[in-house]
Amino acid sequence: MTRPAGILDNALGAVGNTPLIRLSKIAEQEGFKCNLLGKLEFVSAGGSVKDRIAKAMVEAAEKEGKLIPGKSVVIEPTSGNTGIGLAMACAIKGYSVIITMPNKMSLEKEATLRALGAEVVRTPTEAAWDSPESHIGVAKTLEAAIPYGIILDQYRNENNPLAHELTTGPEIIEAVTATPVTSLHASSGKVDVVIAGAGTGGTITGIARAIKKTHNKDAVIVGVDPQGSVLALPASLNTTPTSVPYTVEGIGYDFVPDVLSREPGLIDSWVKTEDEEAFKVVKRIMRSEGLLVGGSSGSALAGAIQWLRSEGKVWAESEGANVVVLLPDGIRNYMSKPWFLELTMNAEPTPLAGTIANILGTP
Ligand code: PMP
């Protein structure tokens, strides 16, 4: 599973194989006795967990003879990260790319897509998923009209959850089982809890399958869904109407994608999160753990904390229990966003800023 020591053929060799990192300070601040562990996906070559599915969908389509170098135009509706993964794969392999993406998604994602040579079409954020104006609707219109246009369709493509069942899940299992018990760190020796946000739901579905089928059928899988989305179960949790917009990118939807499994017993529990709490947690992860994670990582950890304080309290109090939180992308995707500027550039001056002003005499 670990990356081979030799030379990689291209950037796709640097997709996935991400580290699992102890979030010791946050666990300590919360009084958790379990091992709180973050799966750090922004170190993947394209900067997110979605590189894995982009690579898998492109390679599967190639095997099926669906892509022709120099001719095929890969079209995909995405919140950006799948698009970046696809644009990276297609730059290497010689396919054109058009990404359709709601207006709310960051400028940084569009800039990255354009850097990789993709065309980007923005769509109204408020358009219902099945309307012709939505990112999904516009992608379909383009596919029908562009010769050799093809949507790989992360919402329905089985290679989306499969990529996580074959890579993300096994990497988590390997990291946990390969870590010895020491006097510093107790360990149950297995993955006990995984907490992840859902957009398409491919990440959580694939990881849940890998862990429950091959490693620990009693593991607890917890989904995180923002207020305003309809993915959480029971549906009574989804009290905020979908017309109320949320700022966090990449998680939550106004429909349930096919790749989000509803198989009973696979995803055990759901928590709902608010933007404000998620963004505060992003700052906490950056300041306490030195990890430059993005907005949905804040949602995932905010959801984890919420769950560990309530329903999952026995796990929080269980020394050596391994609780994994999926951190999907990095803060460099969001540095122009008002929420990021508010947390950093426009934040209250630190005591050290006062000291500097005193020494230098600046206002
Ligand atoms: N976080 C971010 C930043 C994402 O881009 C995505 C993908 N939409 C997710 C979380 C959720 O991943 P998935 O689609 O596999 O549920």
pLDDT tens per residue, range 208-240: 999 999 999 999 999 999 999 999 999 999 998
With a 6 Å cutoff on the Cβ, whether 202 touches ligand 1 is yes
* Contact between 137 and 106 (Cβ < 8 Å): no
* Phi-psi label, residue 73: left if phi above 0, alpha if psi -120 to 50, beta otherwise: beta
CB 295 within 8 Å of CB 247:
yes
Amino acid 304 reads A
What DSSP string describes 296-314?
HHHHHHHHHHHHHHTTTHH
3-state secondary structure of 167: helix
User: Among residues 79, 133, 113, 124, which one has the least CA distance to residue 257?
Assistant: 79
The secondary element (H helix, E strand) that includes residue 214 is helix 202-214
Report residue 265 as tokens. 């017993």
* Whether 50 is catalytic: yes
**Helix 169-178 to helix 202-214 angle, to the nearest 10 degrees?**
50
- Location of structure tokens 């996580």: 164
At 122, phi and psi to the nearest 5? -90, 145
ipTM surpassing 0.85 = yes
Catalytic-labelled residue, pool 50, 109, 272, 337: 50
Tens-of-pLDDT digits for all 363 residues of the chain?
566 789 999 999 999 999 999 999 999 999 999 999 999 999 999 999 999 999 999 999 999 999 999 999 999 999 999 999 999 999 999 999 999 999 999 999 999 999 999 999 999 999 999 999 999 999 999 999 999 999 999 999 999 999 999 999 999 999 999 999 998 999 999 999 999 999 999 999 999 999 999 999 999 999 999 999 999 999 999 998 888 889 999 999 999 999 999 999 999 999 999 999 999 999 999 999 999 999 999 999 999 999 999 999 999 999 999 999 999 999 999 999 999 999 999 888 889 998 999 999 976
Residue nearest to atom 9 of ligand 1 (CA): 250
Instruction: Flag whether the pTM goes above 0.80.
Output: yes
Which helix (H) or strand (E) element contains residue 53? helix 51-63
Give the distance (Å) from ligand 1 centre to CA of residue 251.
5
HSE on the CB side for 134, CA within 13 Å? 14
pLDDT given for residue 299 in this prediction: 98
Helix, strand or coil, per DSSP, at residue 237: helix
**Mutate which of 39, 40, 42, 50 to test ligand 1's pocket (most atoms within 8 Å of Cβ)?**
50
Cβ neighbours, 10 Å, residue 143 = 18
- Helix/strand/coil for 254: coil
In sequence order, the β-bridge partners of residue 329 are 48
Q: Ligand 1 centroid vs 340 CA: distance in angstroms? A: 19
